[in-house]
């Protein structure tokens, strides 16, 4: 069992920065891939960035060069520094994890989400 808790959301002006954090607890060794998703009201949740156990990362094209997913295996946190924020980056953000023993489900563990609001 893995429990995820996001934090770091808030209000920021366009062009500003925020750093999202996801603390994960439980059977840490069971986690393989971790990722950040975003979801705007009425829209489907979509992956923003992911990171493998070996540290390899992937970011959706729209955030490349501005967001940078990372995982701290000492503090057991997943981070998403977000720079040059735009109003389009406003939706809620969720961290998620793929569990090794149930990888066919994809991202099966989810946090409750954290909201960001980017003003013009």
Query: pLDDT of 23-81, one tens digit each?
Result: 999 999 999 999 999 999 889 999 999 999 899 999 999 999 999 999 999 999 999 99
Tens of pLDDT, residue by residue over 90-115, are 789 999 999 998 889 899 999 999 99
pLDDT at 90: 77
Q: Residue 89: what pLDDT?
A: 80
State yes or no: pLDDT of 5 exceeds 90: yes
- Residue 103: the pLDDT is 87
The candidate with the shortest Cα–Cα distance to 69, out of 80, 58, 77, 82, is 80
Query: Among 79, 69, 91, 88, which residue's Cα sits nearest to residue 15?
Result: 88
């Amino acid at each position: 069992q893995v429990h995820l808790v996001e934090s770091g959301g808030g209000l920021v002006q366009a062009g500003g920065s925020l750093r999202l954090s996801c603390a994960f607890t439980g059977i840490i060794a069971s986690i393989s891939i971790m990722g950040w998703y975003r979801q705007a009201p009425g829209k489907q949740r979509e992956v923003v960035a992911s990171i493998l156990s070996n540290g390899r990362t992937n970011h959706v094209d729209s955030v490349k060069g501005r967001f940078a997913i990372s995982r701290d295996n000492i503090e057991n946190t997943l981070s998403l520094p977000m720079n040059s924020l735009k109003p389009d980056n406003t939706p809620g953000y969720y961290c998620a994890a793929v569990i090794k023993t149930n990888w066919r489900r994809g991202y099966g563990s989810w946090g409750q989400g954290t909201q960001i609001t980017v003003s013009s």
